[in-house]
Copies of this chain bind each other. A is one copy, B any other.
Amino acid sequence: MLGRVLNTHQQWLCRRLADCGYVVTRQVAVPDTAPAIQSSVREALDRATLVIVTGGLGPTSDDLTRDLIAQLLGKRLRLDDAVLNHIKKRFAARNLPMPKNNEVQAQVPEGALVLANPNGTAPGLAMEVGSGVRGFVSGTPQTSRRLSQKPRAQTPDARWLIMLPGPPRELRPMFDGQVVPLLQREFPLDAPFVCRTLRTSGLAESLVQEKIGAPLGKWEAQGLEVGYCARVGQVDVRLSARGAEAEQVVREAAAVVQQPFGAQIYGYDDEEIETVVVRLLTERRETLALAESCTGGCIAHWVTNVPGASAVFLGGLVTYSNEAKQKFLGVRAETLAAHGAVSEAVAREMAEGARRETGADYALAVTGVAGPGGGTKDKPVGTVFVALADASGTTVERRLNSYERETFKQLTAQQALEKLRRRLISP
């Protein structure tokens, strides 16, 4: 609540739950104080069949969640020897003694399932909260109908409370490996659920809806749900449906989206543009080099986030200075003098130089004005040239990406990789 840490759990957990067919009805963040934590958990248990709490299981004095929830549910904490041994072993493996503080992480509320944490010290905890807290749970959970028509739980108003450790590298494998199987057992879906996201590049959100909104109406009448998510340079269209016909409804609706926007759809579901490009290059056994000026390594960073990128990515030259452009890419001093570093001619020489020097099949180059300084009347902040060189020649596009520095870099990286993708799929 102080803005020191970016919360990535909401997106990650919501996507995982949505893809399993569960509907998330609310996400809440509160400060590390007893009243805030207890009242928000109490309200959530009143509202939903499943409550997932993240964080606050650490060893420091502001990690209060375990204690406060046990207190709220009237459960005693016991020291779990297996958990304590696990924590001691983790410290021993690093030749460190276990600080006394960490012992609190081995405290487990009575009746809780322990979710092992191979990536950290605090275990996850899962508790069925049912008839035992009847006096406490005040209402009928509003979402039980959506989470499951047939809860397997012993009591009709039973629900689950799951506490997960805060660090993403601990939470994520624990969720996938231990929480999802628990949910599938306790909250089996009552009907098939299908969802598909089509990711478009280079289109405005209002245009996307204007083209496909009306045609999709027919399937919405059959239970299709349509969602639009816009980011800079990208619009996602998410199609989902439940029931026996879900597969067919989503398939037919996807065809309606593909009809006007086929070429602009760069990927499906979780696919990022860099994942698609690495996959296409891998399939074609072709290689890539990069020459980046204004994006400053952003494209190389994205590409190398993809496991297996080393098979297709030969190297990147982040040539911020004119000297580096000349030395590593062979850009000519006369070209720089005649056209300036931000120009079609320099972008072309950068791409051709990167391809020549690395021997890659394709080379992308970008040069532009990221800002905030450096703009001119002819080439204002946001001006960028994107070049692609391959065996058939070199093409250059000029764009105006008038955004602040980081957005500028990301949008330019997206456009450059999209340019390569279109080349790779063209006949």
Chain A positions near chain B (C-beta within 8 angstroms): 1-8, 10-19, 23-32, 36, 40, 58-62, 99, 101-102, 167-169, 197, 205-207, 209-210, 213, 227-232, 236, 238, 290, 292, 295-301, 303-305, 307-310, 313-321, 323-324, 327-328, 357-359, 370-374, 403-407, 409
User: Are B36 and A26 closer than 8 Å at their CB atoms?
Assistant: yes
Cβ-defined partner of A318 (8 Å) among B307, B318, B327, B404: B318
List, in ascending order, chain B residues with CB within 8 A of A298's CB: 297, 301, 304
A297 to B168, CA, bound (A): 23
Q: A4-B238, A300-B296, A406-B305 are in contact. Are A210 and B101 (CB under 8 A)?
A: yes
In the complex, how many angstroms separate the beta carbon of A416 from the nearest chain B beta carbon? 13
B6-A24 in contact (CB<8A) = no
Contacts of A206 in B (CB 8 A): 58-60, 99, 101-102
| Contact (Cβ within 8 A) A29 B30 | no
Q: Which of chain B's residues has its CB closest to A27's CB? A: B29
Q: A296: nearest residue on chain B (CB-CB)? A: B304
6 A-B residue contacts at CB 8 Å? A3-B13, A60-B228, A62-B228, A305-B409, A317-B318, A328-B357
Contact across chains for A18 and B2 when beta carbons are under 8 A apart: yes
**Residues of the B chain whose Cβ atoms lie less than 8 Å from the Cβ of A228:** 60, 62
Known: A18-B2, A30-B26, A227-B4. A315 touches B324 (CB 8 A): yes
Instruction: Check B15 against A4 for contact (C-beta < 8 Å).
Output: yes
Contact of A205 among B17, B32, B59, B309 (CB under 8 A): B59
Q: B323 touching A317 by the CB < 8 A rule?
A: no
Are B4 and A205 interface neighbours, CB within 8 A? no
State the 7 A-B residue pairs at the shortest beta-carbon distance, nearest first: A3-B15, A296-B304, A297-B300, A297-B297, A315-B324, A316-B318, A3-B14
**Pairwise interchain contact A320-B313, C-beta atoms closer than 8 A:** yes
Q: Which of B3, B59, B318 contacts A11 (CB 8 A)?
A: B3
Residues of chain B within 8 A (CB-CB) of A299 are: 297
- Complex CA distance for A323 and B16, rounded to whole angstroms: 40
Q: Which of B15, B101, B358, B403 contacts A2 (CB 8 A)?
A: B15
Residues on B with C-beta less than 8 A from A319 are 315
Given A305-B406, A358-B324, are A5 and B229 neighbors across the interface (CB < 8 Å)? Answer: yes
* Cα–Cα, bound, A197→B24 (Å): 34
Give chain B nearest CB distance to A368 CB in angstroms: 12
* CA gap between A207 and B231 in the complex, in Å: 40
What separation, in Å, do the CA atoms of A313 and B294 have in the docked complex?
A: 12
A238-B4, A296-B300, A304-B296 given; A324·B328 CB < 8 A:
no
Beta-carbon contact of B6 and A8 below 8 Å: yes
Q: Which residues of B contact A24 (CB under 8 A)?
A: 1, 31
Indicate whether A6 sits within 8 Å of B11 (C-beta atoms), given known contacts A62-B227, A169-B404. yes
Residues on B with C-beta less than 8 A from A321 are 310, 314-315, 358
In the bound complex, how far is the Cα of B402 from the Cα of A246, in angstroms?
42
List B contacts of A290 (CB < 8 A).
318
* Distance to closest chain B CB from A50 (angstroms): 14
Q: Report B-chain residues with C-beta under 8 Å of the C-beta of A32.
A: 227
Task: Please name the residue on chain B nearest to A195 by beta carbon.
Answer: B2
A36 to B23, CA, bound (A): 13
